[in-house]
Structure 1
Amino acid sequence: MSRGRGGARGGRARGRGGQRGGFAAARTRDEVEDSNVHIRDSPEPEQSPSESSDDSASDADEDEDEEAESTSNAYAALLRSLSSRSKSVHAGPDEPRNKKRKLRHETADTPDSHDFDERAAWQENGLGGLGETNDSLSGHTEDEAALQDDDGPEETQDLDDSAFQTHFVNPDENDLASQIKRIADNQWATKKLEAGGGRGIFQTPSTEETSLLRRKVKSTRDVGLKARLVDNAHKEIGSFEPLEQEIATSIFGYQDLLFGARTVQNANRLRDITCLHALNHILMTRDKVLKNNAKLAAATENDDAEYRDQGFTRPKILFLLETKQACVRVLDSITKLHSFEQQENKKRFLDSFSQPEDKFSDDKPTDFRELFEGNDDNEFRVGVKLTRKTLKFYSTFYNSDIIFASTLGLRRAIESGDPKKRDYDFLSSIEMVIMEQADATLMQNWEHAEFVFEHLNLQPKDAHGCDFSRVRSWYLDGHAPYIRQTIVLSAYLTPKINTLYNKHMRNVAGRLKFTPDYNSGLIESLSYGIKQTFLRFESPSHLTDPDARFKFFNSSILPSIMRLPRPLEGGLGVLVFIPSYLDFVRVRNSLVDSDLSYASISEYTDQTDVRKARSHFMNGKHSLLLYTGRAHHFHRYNIRGVKRVVFYGVPENPKFYDEVVGFIGKTLERGEISRAEANVRVSFSKWERLELERIVGTKRVGKMIGDKGDVFDFV
């Protein structure tokens, strides 16, 4: 609950939504404070009893109780002043009472006027907050105290001309309707971009000629930041590099962005840029609400002006991250860009989310260490609330500004409890989604990501104390998915990620898809001198592609393996790399009755069995080793004894191709085989164009997909 500086600070005046048919429960302040009810969050399965309480959280609750007592006198004074004012505006007892405008003032620490009535609704309906901690219902007193320390709305650079104003605050309703219709009809104006060693495609539903023009931003001073962010942003980020200029234009212009060139080297810069934008959006939203609260407080009795500046619920930003350690890194970025005087529950957060980032040796690849160093737990969710001076960890979802979660953790939170009472209303007013490592999400379960996006910006089932007179029109019209900004960062693009782009990234401000150049491809940088043969098989449909691939393997690849001469010492040393686990199961089952001795390693194989399989394969007891892409993703095993490699399918991650072929390179270096014995075979279909392009290069992939020949050799 935010409160305008022009209103009385000790009391609460209800918004006009109460008399316009809104669902907000009419509860007095004393009723809420006397109830002393705590909302219990959905516990995580792995949460230990020691994590369910924290000394700092208890101290915060005690501080809130003290603040509640300190504001009681001010509240009583407000009631007396309202009573005297009511008497003064009437000439006599027989005259009709003037229609009074009900005002809802809000504190400086929240962009929404939900906190007080939301708690009353929870009391009446028995709704719990979603998060990882208990949150006292009397916490609104702290917001009131924070307002007393607030100096009012800040100045913003070029605020009136910013994308925030035109996209969120004052979108043209006629243009919005026409653009949504064009998006529904898939009518996009398109412009190709070249920047920073990559290529981009910018699309907009607007029909104006100027809509495809893009203003380059050279530094953080060009993006209209709130005053309190300017110095830190210039210090930590400063000037943008050429590629960053292109994507920063879309990020700070509230356009959707699908960036398929994330690397370990640019990850920190990308994180800082997106966190800066998220912070700026929260502060701008809060500033707008404060200004409107002041106008409402100063309004005359007959002033019917409306100020629509909010959503249905408070959470505005959703970070979808892969690990708890990634969450720590994002919050580190936020705290260095915004100087908070206090960080409540930070010790508890670090104890639960952070671990030392030195558990792997240097022989592991850098991308593997970046993803799995530290706390690699991938089931989590946590809410964070920003006040003017304080960053509060472990706030309930409905009382949070930002939600940090993995797709698995968020889905578990939604699906926990009674299926008939599943609560995902906290996602109804998300205005920005930042997905940091979509390629890593693919290696988990992409269905979790699809589930989360399907539940974004739906009309809420309950009011949660919403003042509907302050809700933006495009929320009420169900157009929030077209206003929401979605930023997806990935090391590479796949058909599933592209489907997400086409289905859920439909922003009226436009969208940008960026991919790096693959002109030469990975294959030209390999220095092993090993013969690599790419075999294309016919696959009429992507739906029947698994069947066609399995048939090709049994009819062409497997017979060629069976014909290999048996060495006097050791085994055949054939490693079959299978990207998909379903294909792995299919191939493994087909080999049960064969004459080949084989072992298998998947992401589900027990470590004892993994060691046994690797040992037997290296010693030649097993001629064949089946190895899945996800097993390599999660462990990056260094497998010895590999003489030949068969790629059942093209790996989505091109680094996997390099590393698996490198197994043969290391065998050659040890002198265990001759170069003539070593070879690589890759089976592919026309549906693997994206994966193939990253390995053989853009200039070759067209011929390999479309030419009449079906065998392509590289050395």
Structure 2
Amino acid sequence: MSMQSSSHNSVIHFTHNNKAGSSWLTKYLLSDIMNSFKRMGRKRHFNRGGPGQKKKKRRNLVEVNEKAQKRIQREKDRKKFLALRAEGLVQKQRPTNSQEEFGSSSESEAETTVYDELLSSLKEAGGQTSSGDSDIDDKSDGEEEEEIEDQRVEGEVEGRGDYAERDAGEEMVDLEQSDEEDDDDERVVMRMERVMKMVERNRRVWRVAKMEMVIVIVMMMVASKADDGGRDWEVEQEESDEDEVDEDEISDEIEEKQNKKDPFFIRVHTDLDEKEVEEMKSRKLEKLSEFKWPVLGQLTLSSNCKTHVVQPHISKETEYQKLHIKKKLLDHWPSINKEHQKDGSADVFSPLQRELFSSMNSYVDLLYPEVTHETTDEVRNIYCLHVVNHVLKNRTAVHKHNNFLASNPGSDSDDFRDQGLTRPKVLIVVPFRHTLMQVVNIIIDLLLPKDGQHVSHRKRFNQEFGDKYSGKIHPKKPEDWQKTFAGNIDDHFKIGLAFSKKSLRLYTPFYQSDIIIASPLGLRTIIGSKGDKHQEFDFLSSIEILVMEQMDVFLMQNWEHVLHLLDYMHLQPKDSHGVDFSRVKMWALNGWTKFYRQSLLFSQLSCPEIKAVMNKYWQLSVSNPTVDGSICQVATELQQVFQRIKVDSFINDPDERFKHFTTKILPSYKDSLLKGTMIFIPSYFDYVRVRNYFRKEGLNFCQICEYSNPSEISRVKQYLIKGSRHFLLYTERYHFFQRIMLRGIHHVIFYQPPIYSHFYSELCNMIQSTDAASDATCRVLYSKYDSQRIAGIVGSKRGAQMIGSVKDLHMLESGEET
């Protein structure tokens, strides 16, 4: 704590240590003492009319007059003494202290003694005083009063007290004018009388202020010690992490770099030339090889650059050095992955995880479209291990180079290019808050031991991303729905994670983060749209690993957000953000980061939209054929008719489908005997188009979509049970989020095959409990561009036959084609 006293306005300023200032007690004391000083600087007015106030005022005036008379007498004696000394009649003597010159009373001596005692106790408690305390301690009480008097006479200090502000300026002017006009002794005595009054008043105020200041200093020292004992560990951790690198990590990195077998260093130190880049931009993706692994099955390796292709292989190593994994990660890995390890097995991975990690660690793009709700946690654990391992390797290299350059200033910085244009290296995109919470908890368990997890803002994180599930059991809901919607399903969120040596910081700004985890909608709100005044996308410029989990859910939310995100990946930053360009990798400076990015895409199904997201340069995709489609789960005996639509191009598919439906399908279902017909529409745009047509034609129908409220759903259910509505328009997105069971459905028309193949069997089984089950029908409209959806329903082999057949109509009943 320090104190400054301005010579012009006598305002006392306080500055305090930031560490101590974090205490609420310190802030409260500072605000309280500053308010007290403001109150002392104001004029004090007595309430008029009260006898007690008048007596007190007269008594104060009498005391002031008596003191003034004493000072006048002392001034006269002093002048006589000076005159006698000038004549040589007395010898020169100086007063013993400043208190004799001012005639200090016993009361002032007692206050000074208390003040000295407080200062001594302060030194004993704190070891040493601050700069403000030393200034107070160096001067005695009398010397301070002498300085105050000199400043008052020179007109540099504004008085404080009952009448100080009013009289100080006037007296200084009077002193100058009277010196020029009249040097009479009597006038001088009158001036001195008024000056002494001001000095006495301000001396009392100053003594009180000193006492309060000393008390505040002592209390702040106590609060500061309390704050230092329990202050946020982040401050110490950040300071230590900047210049320290774990010795084990350094030795591991040196060993791996010497062996030159670590795929991380191979990826980072591989330099493309301009010819290769132009070739990759112009050439189409070519299939290089196909191979089969025991668990993943059929894999296809494709690339448009044949010079830097890495052929993945299943690694059978168990030691962390040979697996190129940080030792501390594998130390924590068994406790995280114990549910997925085989009993009694020495392997740290499950068979699926070993094959996935072998492909991830090769730094090729991976598309795995066969994730089920049973294997979701298994896949999530392994990709978290990969991305954390990547960040730690990059961080270790940066700190190692920082220490080397600090000790060797003349070293060539081109040999130490280890950074990107911005700090974030990994972007993980997930659909729901509870998914993000699971990912962050895995990262915490990987980095930090169970008994010493230093995570900033952990409480806030648990509150914002915690489980908001109502806890109600839905026995009629499918198991995959229970798994998907078992927690907080809000889809607007984002968070930054920053690694340090022994801690993890949450909610860090994106440009100070190592990993960014967000939803497509959360990133869309940050990036903005083209033409907006404020767009922020520089943090996407140096992403080295892109992870998208549950991409099929993105299709049900808003796929446009995903495409918007990909459009702003690896663009030239608008600002430098404090980057050291001498440390930036050359391929990042050239704008070639997109050629080095690894994309890890996980989905429950495969579709053209998801495949289009894959990097166009190196990719490894899992493409196993569907043996048995979801048609095998249909328990209702009904005729299932698959009708093909002839379409010339993908762009004309919606128009041709709508024309075929309204002219050839819908008229045959207008008969009163075919009431209770559900029209299942996957696309919301097609749903709006069909709904508007129904309204225009005046057809008797009801509708259920993702924007329907509960009251509308209840009315629709009653309409279907009573049979008062002929048609029901039903969207796939609503069925995905709600999975309701509807009664009164006798016929189903699939305007297009569903994205989720198991929805086909679920909707067909709704007819099972109806009275007209024997007369129930099901019709599916499809085109050649729906080959993957048809394969999910009837199987890959039969789906290929239906797509390539010369016949446009296929009917399946009880598992036989006719």
Mapping of residues 237-636 of structure 1, within 5 Å:
237=337, 238-299=347-408, 301=410, 306-339=415-448, 341-357=453-469, 358-415=471-528, 419-501=532-614, 505-507=615-617, 510-563=618-671, 565=673, 572-594=675-697, 596-636=699-739
> Which whole-Å deviations, capped at 9, do the CAs of 1:295-354 have from their partners, x for residues lacking one?
212326475663100011111111101011110011121122222530110110110111
Q: CA deviation at 1:362?
A: 2.7
Question: What secondary structure is seen at the aligned counterpart in 2 of 1:262?
Answer: coil
2:238 to 123, 140, 143: 143
1:227 correspondence with 2:327: yes
Q: More deviation in 220-229 or 628-637?
A: 220-229
> Which whole-Å deviations, capped at 9, do the CAs of 1:155-187 have from their partners, x for residues lacking one?
44873311101001x11444x852662353125
- Alpha carbons 1:250, 1:257 under 8 Å: kept: yes
- Alpha carbons 1:182, 1:188 under 8 Å: kept: no
Q: More deviation in 684-693 or 143-152?
A: 143-152
* TM-score normalised per structure 1: 0.75
1:163 correspondence with 2:263: yes
Q: Give the letter aligned to residue 321 of structure 1.
A: V
1:649 correspondence with 2:764: no
Q: CA deviation at 1:205?
A: 4.2
Question: What secondary structure is seen at the aligned counterpart in 2 of 1:640?
Answer: coil
Q: For 1:213 and 1:403, how far apart are their aligned partners in 2?
A: 27
Q: Give the letter aligned to residue 328 of structure 1.
A: M
What corresponds to 1:704 in structure 2? 802
Q: More deviation in 235-244 or 491-500?
A: 235-244
What corresponds to 1:106 in structure 2? none
Q: For 2:599 and 2:16, how far apart are their aligned partners in 1?
A: 42
1:680 correspondence with 2:775: no
Q: For 1:146 and 1:304, how far apart are their aligned partners in 2?
A: 22
Question: What secondary structure is seen at the aligned counterpart in 2 of 1:171?
Answer: coil
Q: CA deviation at 1:242?
A: 4.4
The structure in which a higher percent of residues are helix is 2
Q: CA deviation at 1:257?
A: 0.9
Q: For 2:511 and 2:440, how far apart are their aligned partners in 1?
A: 19
Q: CA deviation at 1:359?
A: 4.1
1:236 correspondence with 2:236: no
Q: CA deviation at 1:419?
A: 2.2
Flag the structure with more relative contact order, 1 or 2, with Cα contacts below 8 A and sequence separation at least 6: 1
- Alpha carbons 1:576, 1:626 under 8 Å: kept: yes
- Alpha carbons 1:344, 1:392 under 8 Å: kept: yes
Q: For 1:427 and 1:250, how far apart are their aligned partners in 2?
A: 24
* TM-score normalised per structure 2: 0.65
Q: For 1:317 and 1:272, how far apart are their aligned partners in 2?
A: 16
Q: More deviation in 520-529 or 474-483?
A: 520-529
> Which whole-Å deviations, capped at 9, do the CAs of 1:620-647 have from their partners, x for residues lacking one?
1112111011111121111111111111
After the TM superposition, which segments of 4 or more aligned residues of structure 1 sit over 6 Å from their partners? 33-36
Q: For 1:156 and 1:302, how far apart are their aligned partners in 2?
A: 23
Q: CA deviation at 1:217?
A: 4.5
- Alpha carbons 1:325, 1:374 under 8 Å: kept: yes
Question: What secondary structure is seen at the aligned counterpart in 1 of 2:415?
Answer: coil
Q: CA deviation at 1:587?
A: 1.2
Q: CA deviation at 1:546?
A: 0.9
- Alpha carbons 1:601, 1:625 under 8 Å: kept: yes
**Residue segments in structure 2 that go unaligned for 5+ positions in a row:** 1-14, 19-23, 28-233, 338-346, 814-818
Question: What secondary structure is seen at the aligned counterpart in 2 of 1:343?
Answer: coil
Q: Give the letter aligned to residue 146 of structure 1.
A: D
The two structures, once aligned, show a CA RMSD in angstroms of 2.9
Question: What secondary structure is seen at the aligned counterpart in 1 of 2:612?
Answer: helix
Q: CA deviation at 1:656?
A: 1.3
- Alpha carbons 1:574, 1:642 under 8 Å: kept: yes
What corresponds to 1:133 in structure 2? none
- Alpha carbons 2:315, 2:354 under 8 Å: kept: yes
Q: For 1:430 and 1:650, how far apart are their aligned partners in 2?
A: 36
Q: For 1:302 and 1:198, how far apart are their aligned partners in 2?
A: 50
Q: For 1:300 and 1:367, how far apart are their aligned partners in 2?
A: 58
CA gap of 1:610–1:277, structure 2 versus 1, over 3 A, is same
What corresponds to 1:12 in structure 2? none
- Alpha carbons 2:702, 2:716 under 8 Å: kept: yes
Q: For 1:454 and 1:326, how far apart are their aligned partners in 2?
A: 24
Q: For 1:495 and 1:652, how far apart are their aligned partners in 2?
A: 11
Instruction: Flag the structure with larger Rg.
Output: 2
Q: For 2:538 and 2:694, how far apart are their aligned partners in 1?
A: 49
> Which whole-Å deviations, capped at 9, do the CAs of 1:622-680 have from their partners, x for residues lacking one?
12111011111121111111111111110011121121112112x25xxx2242x1121
CA gap of 1:204–1:687, structure 2 versus 1, over 3 A, is closer
CA gap of 1:612–1:420, structure 2 versus 1, over 3 A, is same
> Which whole-Å deviations, capped at 9, do the CAs of 1:519-566 have from their partners, x for residues lacking one?
222213433332211111211111111111111111221112123526
- Alpha carbons 1:257, 1:487 under 8 Å: kept: yes
